[in-house]
Amino acid sequence: MRRLDPFHAVAAACTLLVVAFIVVPLVEMIRQPTAADLKASILDADVRRAIWLSISTSGSAALISFIFGTPFAYLLARRDFPGKRLVESIVDLPIMIPHPVIGIAILSLAGRQHWIGRLAADLGVRVMGSVTGIVIVLTFVGLPFYINTVKNGIEAIPQRLENVSRSLGATAFGTFWRVTFPLAWRSVVVGMILCTARAVSEFGAVVIVAYHPMIAPVMIYERFTAYGLRYSQPVAVWLIGVCLVLFFLLRWLNPPAGRTRA
Amino acid sequence: MIRVENLSVRLPGFALDGVSFRVAPGEFFTILGPTGAGKTLILESIAGMVPIDGGRIRIDGRDVTELPPERRGIGIVYQDHALFPHLSVSRNIRYGLRYRAKAAEGDDRLQHLVERLGLKPLLNRGVSHLSGGERQRVALARALVVAPKILLLDEPLSALDPNFREEIRDLLKSLHRETGITVLMVTHDFAEAHFLAARTAVIIAGRIEQVGSVAEVFNRPVSPAVAAFVGMKNIFEARFEGDTARTGPLTMALARSVPPGSRFVAVRPEDVQLDADAPGAANNHFAGQVTRLDHQGVFCEVRVSCEGMVWQTIVPTGRLMQQGLSEGDTVRLHVPPGKIHVM
């Protein structure tokens, strides 16, 4: 047998360590609750409501990102304009800001003391402690993931295809619709999944804007602080189940390079 | 007809500057230049795909400078074919038909092109497994089916295997003859331009150096850069006195007196004769040493140093072997006065 190169040995050891670091806590958390606990937990209407609220608000965030983020991503991928770097950094800001700060920032806009808050209130839109507030927060944290993914996807499409389409008579929008969008479709789906996954996992910003209605992470936190580990684990397991489904969907739609279907 | 007037495009690190030329109706015109000279940028400016910084572009007399690409009536075929990877061959070809008013005519043209380009067996296939030649034929059909006023070809032969290259080259020539469409092709290959086009513009580093018939550019380049590009490999700075030229240590007789302002002499390697046993010191015979032999198959490139000036010539490999020429041998070069180009 060929001798293992020392560098490769170190790399393999690191790989094992990292995988274990990620998998062991998760496996333990899934293993510890009994089947009865899990069953009881999913039969609890509050739990189901919280998980559904998590998924539906995260999905809405992804949908909003899709609608507003797609043309934006196209612009970033295809056009150079003054201040483009700045705009790109602004898009990345939500990834870097501490989550509670995001919640506080949004609240400072939503209150009566700000004209936007007053305008929203006059229109009957409530942000604090509402589904609307949750969706706003989740869109805020999820958008960068959508925009960056789709931007990269569009950048990978040769611009010559769009040029040819224009020369054949298609307008800019027609070209986007018939060439760019179908070719970027996979990255659009992946972007929406990433955005949803990011939104599902948000806690810090949501808990400030809307403790109620309760999304799953808030419920897990509440059960943990009020009743302890045993009561929070089953809800967490169900939430992880949802995340895993999202994860596999992502892998399935986006096979690693080199194994792409022709 | 295409008329480009004073076109300028400025990009970071590159600029097209004051580019002007005219392509007559039905003409096959080439823009010739080395890689990176700005050829594709000219095509994309004409097609309306890059913002331009100055100048006007007219197509069939109409100023299209401000028009979006879809309203210019231009077909474009790229070197890499740019087929839509998510569409079948048939859908690729039909892509532009919906934007042209007369559907029946479009269908007729489609039938004709599919037949003419031999695409029938490919129609339902995806484009990813087509050969280079097949892809180029699909790209041509897709561009021509909408009956563009002009066809732009961006190095259409460069990415092809040699056997496909000949096929597509012949096809381009006959398609042009059959359709009478105005064609503007860019290429870095002089032989392609020679085969396909009557007139050409030579562009070097973003500037048009010379416009004229292919023969004119080939025989009478106006600058050392153009001369080098069309294969005049022996280019020397010279001082002229009457009908002689002095280049370094050599004095050469010329066939005719030179126009004022001339600064260079240039000679094609195939016009430089290698006479190992030529008699006497007749005009333009120079003794020199063979410094290098580069075998190119049927021909061999020979470099000969005459008092420090290196000349390049071409000798049939057969003759080379007969003479048993090798590096270091002393030979005599003959540069016929009639073959010396002055610029």
Q: What is the DSSP string of A156-184?
A: TS-HHHHHHHHHTT--HHHHIIIIIHHHH
pLDDT of residue A255: 60
For residues A216 and A224, the answer to whether their CB atoms sit within 8 Å is no
* Cα–Cα distance for residue pair A27/A243, rounded to 1 Å: 14
Residue B220 has pLDDT above 70, yes or no: yes
8 Å CB contact of A163 and B82:
yes
Give the pLDDT confidence score for residue A257 in this predicted structure: 47
How far from the centroid of its chain's Cα atoms is residue B179's Cα? Answer: 22
The predicted model scores a pTM of: 0.85
Q: Do A171 and B86 touch (CB under 8 A)?
A: no
Q: Is B140 on the interface with A (CB under 8 A)?
A: no
Residue B279 has pLDDT above 70, yes or no: no
The residue assigned the tokens 């006065």 is: B337
The residue that leads in pLDDT, B325 or A226, is A226
| Span of A136-150, A245-259, B2-16, B123-137 with lowest mean pLDDT | A245-259
Inside any domain, residue A172 = yes
B103 touches chain A (CB under 8 A): no
- The answer to whether position A12 is within a domain reads no
- Which pLDDT band, with edges at 50, 70 and 90, does B274 fall under? confident
Q: Give yes or no for B126 touching A (CB within 8 A).
A: yes
Nearest CA in chain B to A161: B82
* A167 has a pLDDT exceeding 60: yes
Q: Give yes or no for A11 touching B (CB within 8 A).
A: no
Closest by Cα among B256, B196, B262, B220 to B31: B196
| Cβ–Cβ contact B84 with A under 8 A | yes
Q: Could you tell me the end-to-end alpha-carbon distance of chain B, in angstroms, rounded to an integer?
A: 31
SS3 category, B215:
helix
Q: Is residue A41 in a domain?
A: no
Give the model's confidence band at A258: pLDDT under 50 very low, under 70 low, under 90 confident, else very high: very low
A62-68 mean pLDDT = 97
- CB contacts of A163 in chain B (<8 Å) are 44, 47, 49, 69, 76, 82
Q: Is A56 domain-assigned?
A: yes
- Chain B residues whose beta carbon lies within 8 Å of the beta carbon of residue A167: 47, 49, 69-70, 72, 74-76, 143, 148
Kindly list the distances between the CA atom of residue B104 and the CA atoms of A49, B98, B117, B150, B295, in Å, as whole numbers in the listed order: 59, 11, 20, 21, 57
**C-beta separation of A175 from A221 below 8 A:** no
The pLDDT value recorded for residue A261 is 38
CB contact under 8 A, A160 and B47: no
Interface contacts (A, B; CB < 8 Å): 69
Report the gap between the CA of A142 and the closest CA in chain B (Å): 29
Residues B98-106 have a mean pLDDT of 81
Residue A27: both structure tokens together: 């496996």
Please name the residues in contact with A227: beta carbons below 8 A apart, sequence gap of 6 or more: none
**Is there a domain that residue A14 lies in?**
no
Cα of A258 to nearest chain B Cα, Å: 15
Q: Is residue A11 part of a domain?
A: no
The yes-or-no verdict on residue B283 having pLDDT over 80 is: no
Distance from CA of B88 to the nearest CA of A (A): 13
Residue A97 forms part of a structural domain: yes
Contact B69 A262 (CB under 8 A): no
Separation CA B288–CA B308 (nearest Å)? 9
More confidently predicted of A241 and A75: A75
Of B153, B215, B211, nearest in space to B187 by CA = B153
Kind plus residue range of the DSSP H or E element containing A78: helix A45-78
Least Cα distance to B201 among B159, B160, B172, B229 occurs for B229
Q: Is A161 on the interface with B (CB under 8 A)?
A: yes
Which residue is closest to B73 within chain A, CA to CA? A167
- Shortest alpha-carbon distance between residue A44 and chain B (Å): 47
Average model confidence (pLDDT) for chain B?
Answer: 91
Residue A202 lies in a domain: yes
Confidence band of B257 (pLDDT split at 50, 70, 90): confident
Domain extent, residue A183, equals 48-78+86-253
Counting the structural domains of chain A, the total is 1
The rounded distance, in Å, linking the Cα atoms of A137 and A118 is 19
- Please report the residues numbered 8 through 27 in chain B whose beta carbons come closer than 8 angstroms to any beta carbon of chain A: none
Q: What's the CATH code of the domain at A186?
A: 1.10.3720.10
> Nearest Cα to A50, choosing from A208, A227, A186, A210?
A210
